Amino acid sequence: MTKVTAPAVLAAKGTRKLAMLTAYDFAAARLAEAAGVDMLLVGDSLAMVVLGHEDTLSVTMEEMLHHTRAVSRGAENALVVADMPFLSYQVSVPEAVANAGRFLKEGRAGAVKLEGGREVLPQVRAIVAAGIPVIGHVGLTPQHVAALGGFKVQSKTAEAAARLLEDAMALAEAGCFAVVLECIPAAVAAVVTKHLPVPTIGIGAGADCDGQVLVFHDVLGLYDRFLPKFVKQYAKLGDLAVEALTQWADAVRNGVFPGPEHVFSMAPDAYAAFISRIHTDATAAGPEATKGDPA
Ligand code: KIV
């Protein structure tokens, strides 16, 4: 597989489907890389599935950078996309450019993603002008969870669907090389995909999108707090992990682990010298030091 770049993702529109998966650390990046995933999104879902927060709002730039660096170290060919966390781009355009730049400069990502429609166009234009590839994100935008009143399906009315299409088109015109469509009716996503000149990456947006993204922990059954309707679990690694860890803890309690194959040996003469040295040292230190010596 050759290195996936933002222009390569753009060129995939209409020619092949794109697979994007979230990753938050080196090990996950290596696994996804071995599976031939095109893009690794260091999603702000990190806040929920790794850090245990209720939503994505609390994760910081420093936390996102820390995990982006780890993913970049594990990604050989996949394009690493760093998710810009809440309030890292909304406050001002210069701050948005500076923070986006940190993901490439310090995190070694190849692109950033940010949430929102027409209200974030100045930020998108400025980040793209700085030479940083951007992915847009419309539909359910989890950073707006408070305003939306929860994680709900979006664009269910004709007006809302038309607004979403306009937002997605504006993001593409502003320079986004792909747009994530989250939690919208499949029929709306199909229309947006048809109109947009850049790939759509769907999550809960049906099969007609140009690509799909899911959360690593959801695909593998590693997050048990909440399973959205749009997730298909391809494995139940959480159950397997609990089974394995229970066996290990039982083996420790029963004295079965570690076995002889897990320990390091010492030459018998070295051991004998060690024991005799303990006794010599203890005797030389006087009667007080030998108190309680079991030997
Ligand atoms: O943070 C994330 O995981 C995301 C995807 C769900 C698109 O933004």
Torsion of CA 263, 267, 269, 270, to 10 degrees: -70
Which of 95, 182, 261, 288 is catalytic? The answer is: 182
Percent over 90 (pLDDT), the chain: 93
- Which residue has the least CA distance to atom 1 on ligand 1? 43
In whole angstroms, give the CA distance from residue 129 to residue 175: 9
* Secondary structure letter of residue 217 according to DSSP: H
Instruction: Over range 203-215, report the average pLDDT.
Output: 98
Of 24-38, 157-171, 241-255, 273-287, which range is least confident?
Answer: 273-287
In whole angstroms, give the CA distance from residue 222 to residue 241: 9
CA of 44 to the centre of ligand 1 (A): 6
CA of 254 to the centre of ligand 1 (A): 43
- Residue 289, pLDDT score: 46
Task: For 152-162, give one letter per residue: b (16+ CB within 10 A) or e.
Answer: eebbeeeeebe
In whole angstroms, give the CA distance from residue 258 to residue 261: 8
Of 228-232, 239-243, 280-284, which range is least confident?
Answer: 280-284
Asked whether residue 194 is assigned to any structural domain, the reply reads yes
Phi and psi torsions of 80, nearest 5° = -90, 120
Shortest-distance atom of ligand 1 to CA 115 = 8
- Residue 148, pLDDT score: 94
> 């469509």: which residue's tokens?
181
- 156, 158, 181: which is closest to 168 by C-alpha? 181
Asked whether residue 272 is assigned to any structural domain, the reply reads no
Pocket test for ligand 1, best of 18, 21, 22 (most atoms within 8 A of CB): 22
CA of 273 to the centre of ligand 1 (A): 61
- Residue 293, pLDDT score: 42
Asked whether residue 295 is assigned to any structural domain, the reply reads no
Asked whether residue 77 is assigned to any structural domain, the reply reads yes
Look at the chain and report how many structural domains it folds into. 1
- Residue 130, pLDDT score: 98
User: Domain with 56 in it: what CATH number?
Assistant: 3.20.20.60
How many other β-carbons are positioned within 10 Å of the β-carbon of residue 122? 13
Asked whether residue 154 is assigned to any structural domain, the reply reads yes
- Which residue has the least CA distance to atom 4 on ligand 1? 43
Give the confidence band of 77 by pLDDT, cuts at 50, 70, 90.
very high
What is the rounded end-to-end Cα distance, in angstroms, of the chain? 64
Q: What residue ranges in the chain does DSSP mark as E strands? A: 18-22, 39-42, 79-83, 111-113, 134-139, 178-182, 200-203, 211-214
Asked whether residue 250 is assigned to any structural domain, the reply reads no
Residues whose beta carbon lies within 6 Å of some atom of ligand 1: 22, 41, 43-45, 83, 180, 182, 203, 213, 215
Tokens of 274: 């060690």
Instruction: Over range 248-263, report the average pLDDT.
Output: 98
Do strands 211-214 and 39-42 pair parallel, antiparallel, or not at all (unpaired)? Answer: unpaired
Asked whether residue 267 is assigned to any structural domain, the reply reads no
Pocket test for ligand 1, best of 56, 68, 212 (most atoms within 8 A of CB): 56
- Residue 221, pLDDT score: 97
- Residue 287, pLDDT score: 54
Give the confidence band of 288 by pLDDT, cuts at 50, 70, 90.
low
Shortest-distance atom of ligand 1 to CA 20 = 7
Q: Is 62 an active-site residue? A: no
Give the confidence band of 286 by pLDDT, cuts at 50, 70, 90.
low
What is the average pLDDT score of the chain?
A: 95
Give the confidence band of 14 by pLDDT, cuts at 50, 70, 90.
very high
- Residue 295, pLDDT score: 36
The β-bridge partners of 196 are none
- Which residue has the least CA distance to atom 2 on ligand 1? 43
Cα distances (angstroms) measured from residue 141 to each of 184, 220, 259: 11, 23, 51
Residue 23 structural domain: 6-240
pLDDT tens track for 139-164: 999 999 999 999 999 999 999 999 99
Asked whether residue 281 is assigned to any structural domain, the reply reads no
Whether pLDDT at 290 is above 50: no
| Residue of 170 and 282 predicted with greater confidence | 170
Do strands 111-113 and 18-22 pair parallel, antiparallel, or not at all (unpaired)? Answer: unpaired
pLDDT tens track for 19-60: 999 999 999 999 999 999 999 999 999 999 999 999 999 999
3-class DSSP state of 82: strand
